Amino acid sequence: MNQEKSIRIKGVRSTVISVIVGGVIVWFLLSKIDVRDIPRAIGAISLQSLLFAFLLYVISVFLKSLRFRTILRDVISLRRLFPIISLYTFFSNILPMRTGELSYIYFLKKEAKTPGTKSFASLIAAGIADATVLLMAMFIVGWHLREALAKGLLRFQSASGQRTEMLARMAKRNLSLFIAIAILTVGGIVGLILLKRKHTQGGQVSGTRRLAASIKAKSLEVWSELANTSFDLRLLSIIVLSVLIIAFRFGTQWYLVQSMGISIGIWKFSFALLFGVLFSLLPVHGPAGFGTVEGPWVLTLSVLNVSREDAITSGFGLHIIIIMYCIILGIYGVADMFVRKHRKDGARVVPTKSKNV
């Protein structure tokens, strides 16, 4: 019980921290531009362009469904899996700290009675495939941009050095205050740890052992599922589908940026997008990812000497539109499950025939 409470507290703490960090990044970035530039950029996209970009995004979600079906060895039909992946896409873009991944495991178990370890193993397999393709693509794009990246990093290092010197001067002036704060912080943390150990020491050992045993057992089950992926045509199809998924995601966002009328070169755009997608694999995002999505995007484009206004405006504009697309997919997923549940309930009712007397 104490262990579960501790996990919940850690989850809440991580979410709060991610919200604060994301909020600070959003405030910092928006303070550098005219906020009205973002709705102007989105408003510059025609309805036809928004619909076409949405079609590209839906194709990427469909390909993702096909990939998961391949990984799961056809345990569920594509017709039933696509609404699940639509909901998974919605929750993974809305919920913080990658907790949206749990929606995939939950709905797959609910709809296809798939064990959680098998679902989790499929997520890991898909993540490995994505990371492999992304790293290869980043190497190719980075090699093409090697001179621009080198110049940008040197410029960024120089600017960072100036800021570091300024912070050092401030620290020297307030050294005693910093030391006092550090001592109080460390002392408070140590005191809380000791107090917590005093109150929970009795049940914590057994709880920790049970948790460790459970994690070990589940890890072995997940590893067993991953080991079933052999180096055959199935693995090749997973890699090919991963390439296509990333290609359609790229096409969606590149088309939107061009429709906004923002001038970003395709190589610079590619590197920023790939870096942002790789960063999104880490469990650091707050709700809807605002701030933690735009941060890596703006940072990468700034290193590549794209104007600050274009980087920030395109980052927020793209993110808002993608969230809108995810909401539409989420509504579709909920509606599809509701309709199928209604049909199931109707099928259970056996009609009675009246007899003529």
What's phi and psi for 24, nearest 5 deg?
Answer: -65, -40
Residue 232: Cβ within 10 Å count: 8
Name the burial class of residue 12, with classes exposed (0-12), middle (13-18) and buried (19+) by CB atoms within 10 angstroms of its CB: exposed
Q: What is residue 175's predicted lDDT score, i.e. its pLDDT?
A: 44
Residue 42 confidence class, pLDDT cut points 50, 70, 90: very high
Per-residue model confidence as pLDDT tens digits over 317-330: 999 999 999 999 99
CA 34 to chain centre: 27
Nearest to 256 by CA among 200, 313, 297, 212: 313
Q: What is residue 270's predicted lDDT score, i.e. its pLDDT?
A: 94
Alpha-carbon distance of 92 to 23, in angstroms, equals: 19
Higher model confidence: residue 205 or residue 306? Answer: 306
**Range of lowest pLDDT (4-18, 27-41, 46-60):** 4-18
**Section 177-199 average pLDDT:** 48
Q: Which region holds residue 113: left if phi is over 0, alpha if psi is between -120 and 50, else beta?
A: left
Domains of the chain by residue range? 18-179+231-343
Q: Decide if pLDDT at 229 tops 90.
A: no
Alpha-carbon distance of 256 to 238, in angstroms, equals: 27
134: its two tokens:
């992304």
pTM, two decimals, is: 0.77
Query: Alpha helices of the chain — where are they, by DSSP H?
Result: 2-30, 37-43, 47-71, 78-94, 101-112, 116-144, 146-173, 175-227, 233-260, 266-280, 294-303, 308-348
Alpha-carbon distance of 325 to 92, in angstroms, equals: 13
Alpha-carbon distance of 248 to 59, in angstroms, equals: 7
Question: What's the DSSP call for residue 39?
Answer: H
The pLDDT > 70 percentage for the chain reads 73
Question: How high is the mean pLDDT of the chain?
Answer: 80
Q: Decide if pLDDT at 194 tops 60.
A: no
86: its two tokens:
């639509």
**Section 271-278 average pLDDT:** 90
Q: What is residue 351's predicted lDDT score, i.e. its pLDDT?
A: 57
Per-residue model confidence as pLDDT tens digits over 77-114: 899 999 999 999 999 999 887 788 889 999 998 888 88
CA 269 to chain centre: 19
Q: What is residue 244's predicted lDDT score, i.e. its pLDDT?
A: 96
